[in-house]
Structure 1
Amino acid sequence: MASITSVRLARLLGSWRHGGPAYAELAERLRLLSVDGRLPDRTRLPAERDLALTLGLSRTTVAAAYGRLRDLGALTSVRGSGSYVVLPGGPALPAPDASGILDLTKAAMPAAGVVEECYGRAAAQIGAELGGSGYELLGLPRLRVAVAEHFTRRGAATDPEQVLITTGVQHGLSLIARALVAPGDRAAVEQPTYPHAMDTLLAAKARLVGIPVSPGGWDLEAAEEAFAAASPTVAYVMPDFQNPTGASLAPEGRERLARLAERHGTLLVADETTALLDIRRGPLAPLAAWSPTSVTLGGLSKLAWGGLRIGWIRAPRSVLARLAQARPALDLGTPVFEQLVAAELLAREDLLVAERRTRLAAGLDTLTGALAEGFPEWRFTQPDGGMAVWADCSPLSSSRLVVAAHARGVALTAGPRFGFDGAFEHRLRLPFTASPEELADAVAALRAASTSRSAGPADAPLITV
């Protein structure tokens, strides 16, 4: 079982005092850390005395907080062993639709209109594949060609031999971490960033180095200092409509980042999950156009449908060979039927992009209009694309707001889930992927939640995507 030190837990807690009883506020924050995944199920918490010393509290206060968590079913204590985080009902996820919760922890849309047609076309083609073994470690040749053409059209000339098909982007990142990151390696990541990228690199026992990014862009001076100090082995970035800020790296910034990585021998890993979700920016060439040695992750989960678990890795042949060698320890290939669907979808890429642009533009207008009316004091930058607004909800605590909003039927992810050690407490990611009616209702629920001090019931975690 995992354990956490009092110093590390104090960093995760961040700024948790808001004027109420200390024991209740500490319990509430600890519970939120478990609900959103920062404290995994069965993590052993520090001893009461150690945590009290680190936080500058009395042991009685920490004991009362632990007692409150036990009463909520969120903590179990074993004499002589310690106190362990417990997720109610185990780590199984709730069904948001069944419980009436509007789940905005996922920045995702329903399937695009053409998806059903492409499934039908794939069904008509699957018979031709049944004479083979079905094991395609690198992917179906047809889909690898389609992905190579996808990159070449966008300005990064690509050969099919540079492409490996994966079971989603997250699977691709896990494969990269397994094959290319050794325990103790430094890994640069944007701050804030996609939470499961941090989770994946930490699971590979990498040491994370932050690159500051905001809706206004990347702090490349800080990136240069971080690279000079740490010489990271890999750097994970989202150069297009970054999650959660929505920022895009300009061409000159892409070139500068590519040269920086080259100087320090750092492998750039560019995640293009959101690259085609353009509302009003206009096309930019992939980071690979400036960095031929970089690795690019892509997929169809955001553009087409999250239920289609298809992704790809574009990489130099030498890197791809290492990934292919490591893959059998994880799986033996991506399902053939889904690859046929993906090939059909890529042939209709322009239709997908146009449909998503229309939906996302309407969602963005609805959300920002509702926020301007309901929270005129909040600050945010309208993104040019992507799927979410990264709002500054000061002086409110996003952690407390998320708990209160859930009690009112809206599930969101608190800002600290996207950063290191409790950062971004006054930031909230607000996806605009739901329908206009749902978005208006969500902001109304947030408005009501903002005046509440309710901690709400302990719930199992929702996955942030």
Structure 2
Amino acid sequence: MKATRANSPRMVTPLNVHQMVRLMGQWGLGEGALHTQLASHLRMLVVSGKLAAGVRLPSERSLAEALDVSRNTVGSAFDELRGDGILTSRRGDGTYVSSARQFLGVRGDDRFESFLANAPSIGPRIDLRSAALPGLRLVVDAASVVGPELAPLVDSHGYVPEGLPALRVEVAKYYSSIGLPTIQDQILITSGAQQAMRMAAVSMLEPGSVALVEEPSFRGAIEVLRAAGARLEPIRRGPYGIETSELIAAVRRTKPKLLVMQSTVHNPTGSVMNTGRRRQLAITATNLGLTVLDDTTLADAMIDEPPATPMAAWGSSVITVGSVSKSFWGGLRVGWLRADPATVAALASIKAGEDLGTSLLAQVTTARLLPRIDEARAERSRVLGAARDLVVGSLTELLPEWEPVVPVGGASLWVRLPIPIATTLVQRAERLGVQLLPGPTFSCVDDFDDHLRIGFAASHAELLAGVRALAEAWRIVGNRG
């Protein structure tokens, strides 16, 4: 394919420094000088097409600060790539990618890079990026006795786009038991919550449509909306959730097609909107004619409170997304979407054309698990509570100037730093053996560089070692502000 020149009118949006760092991933953990490793990784990003022709890179100074290296390191890497014709620079105009394997048009975001396989790193790593929980023993018990339910299904073709009837019934009971009366026809089974969100977004959004997104927000929501070509407008989430007045103002200002939010356990903050706030937002959205995509994936990972009634109990324009990823095990890849029957039927048609249906084996297992949801909630509460208290206590002792938001649920801690250097801090922590996610990962406008998310799904020993290493990283870079 013919390369696109840097001065071509077919220019893409410049990369900001936070996007660039996310693309870089684990770049400086190998052998050799840092500038050599940096040049090699940048070359790989260009060759793979992740850095498209015409992209303007961040300045050498800003990239050096974010990567926690000297400006000479970045300058030497850029010089090498300029010499190879991969980059080109013009005085006063910046540095551009001269050529790439392909030109990327509408694409997703880069916030899921931490889930991808990276190059082998040097030495042991403590991964505090993920809030994904290990599976419960209940999953093994359920999977070992699915034979009788599975046997008659094997006689069919096995394609059930809307989902196994027995599981749809169980999901309907699940919602009815927490205050949201639901029937089978309101449930669509999906291959995880991410697919449910994506199908709903694609069905309601056209490229360029406006979608309101909580700030901060789950990175999966940002990924889904970016991939759908939506124009994301942030709406700030306060300590108690979105203010009704701010929602009304945002709708009038931006004319959105969709609001994506988490009314129960919020990722990354771990906060939960109270019942009054959920009710008022649902009523307001319905009155405004605004569809709400309410991601309740973490609803069964409460630590201090009982399960919350979903927003859809008070608003007909609310579509609810859920899954068993946090309650039982992410490896099942079973999620669902709750909406009115007509919407469910329409989305089932989309799913039929996409994958013909979610694995029946996983659905049979999940149908056996859901009646035991109270056992799963109790186990999650016990394990998550102990891990949360351990991390909060360690931070209070070692980093007293930090301001953690003590979560009500979930497996992550949202922490405010005294100065906005989270991206740089994460780079330094990486070299000390700890992997974390900086605040901009959870912002559709790359805000919150004064925040950090610490996942506490790891073992207690790893959590303690990780916080100690993080304190050492802060000692090194924290005085730069």
Over 3 Å counting, the alpha-carbon distance change for 1:214 and 1:26 in structure 2 is: farther
Paired with 1:178 and 1:307, the residues of 2 have a C-alpha distance of 25
Which structure has more RCO (C-alpha within 8 Å, separation ≥ 6)? 1
Measured against aligned partners, the alpha-carbon deviations of 1:375-416 in whole angstroms (never above 9, x if no partner) come to 000012212112211100222511111111122222111110
Aligned partner of 1:240: which letter? Answer: T
Matched with 2:105 is none
Does the 8 A contact of 2:334 with 2:366 survive in 1?
yes
- 2:373 paired with 1:349: yes
- 1:217 is paired with a residue whose SS is coil
Amino acid at match of 2:77: R
Match of 2:241 in 1: 217
- List aligned pairs for 1:291-440, cutoff 5 A: 291-395=315-419, 397-440=421-464
Contact conserved, 2:404 with 2:413, CA < 8 A, in 1? yes
Distance of 2:43 and 2:453 partners within structure 1: 19
Share of identical aligned residues, percent? 30
Residue in structure 1 matched with residue 177 of structure 2 by the alignment = 153
Given residue 82 of structure 1, which amino acid in structure 2 is its aligned partner? S
CA contact (8 A) 1:215 1:381 kept: no
Q: Where do 1:23-422 residues align within 5 Å?
A: 41-44=50-53, 46-47=55-56, 65=74, 67-68=76-77, 77=86, 82=98, 93-94=117-118, 100-395=124-419, 397-422=421-446
Say if 2:43 and 2:86, in contact at 8 Å, map to a contact too.
no
Q: Match of 1:111, as an amino acid?
A: G
2-structure distance, mates of 1:376, 1:136: 54
Q: CA deviation at 1:151?
A: 0.6
Partner AA of 1:437 in structure 2: A
By how many angstroms is 1:316 displaced? Answer: 0.5
Q: In structure 1, what residue type is equivalent to 2:363?
A: Q
Decide whether the 8 Å contact of 1:279 with 1:385 is kept in 2. yes
User: Which residue identity does 2:164 align to in structure 1?
Assistant: L
Q: Deviations over 1:10-42 (max 9, x none)?
A: 78579xxxxxxxxxx999999999999xx9823
- Tell me the residue number matched to 2:67: none
* Secondary structure, aligned partner of 2:413: strand
Could you report, residue by residue, the CA deviation over 1:350-395 in whole angstroms, capped at 9, with x for unpaired residues? 1100000000000011000000011000012212112211100222
Q: TM-score, normalised by structure 1?
A: 0.82
SS in 1 for 2:16: helix
Cα offset, 1:69, TM superposition: 5.5
Q: Label 1:243 to 1:188 Cα distance change in 2 as closer, same or farther (>3 A).
A: same
Which residue does the alignment assign to 2:13? 5
Is the 1:191–1:211 contact (alpha carbons within 8 Å) kept by the matching residues of 2?
A: yes
RMSD of aligned alpha carbons: 3.8
CA contact (8 A) 2:56 2:97 kept: no
Moved more, 337-346 or 259-268: 259-268
Query: Structure 1 residues 443 and 326, CA, compared in 2 at 3 Å: closer, same or farther?
Result: same
> In 1, are the aligned partners of 2:404 and 2:414 still within 8 Å (CA)?
yes
- Note if contact 1:228-1:264 (Cα within 8 Å) is conserved in structure 2: no
- Structure 1 residues 170, 438: CA separation in 2 closer, same or farther (over 3 Å shift)? same
Matches of 1:203 and 1:420, distance apart in 2: 13
Deviations 1:173-229 (A, max 9, x none): 111122221122111110010112112111111111212114443333322211121
Deviates more, 1:400-409 or 1:363-372: 400-409
1:31/1:69 contact within 8 Å kept = no
- The alpha-carbon distance between structure 1 residues 373 and 199, as it changes in their structure 2 partners (threshold 3 A), is same
Question: 1:114 is matched by which residue type in structure 2?
Answer: L
Asked whether the 8 Å contact 2:270–2:409 carries over to 1, the reply is yes
Amino acid at match of 1:398: A
Alpha-carbon deviations, 1:80-119, whole Å to 9, x = none?
A: 97166999xxx95138899632222210221112111011
In structure 2, what is the Cα distance between the partners aligned to 1:361 and 1:33? 41
Quick one: which amino acid aligns to residue 205 of structure 1?
G
Report the Cα distance in structure 2 between the residues aligned to 1:256 and 1:177, rounded to whole angstroms.
Answer: 23
Distance 2:39 2:238 in 1: 27
Task: After TM superposition, give the deviation of residue 231 of structure 1 in Å.
Answer: 2.4
Instruction: Count how many residue pairs are aligned between Structure 1 and Structure 2.
Output: 430
Q: Which runs of 5+ in 1 are unaligned?
A: 15-24, 56-60, 455-465
Residue 302 of structure 2 aligns to a residue whose secondary structure is coil
- Give 3-state SS (helix, strand or coil) of 1:443's partner: helix
Given residue 42 of structure 1, which amino acid in structure 2 is its aligned partner? L
Structure 2 counterpart of 1:9, one-letter code: N
Q: Secondary structure at the match of 1:155?
A: coil
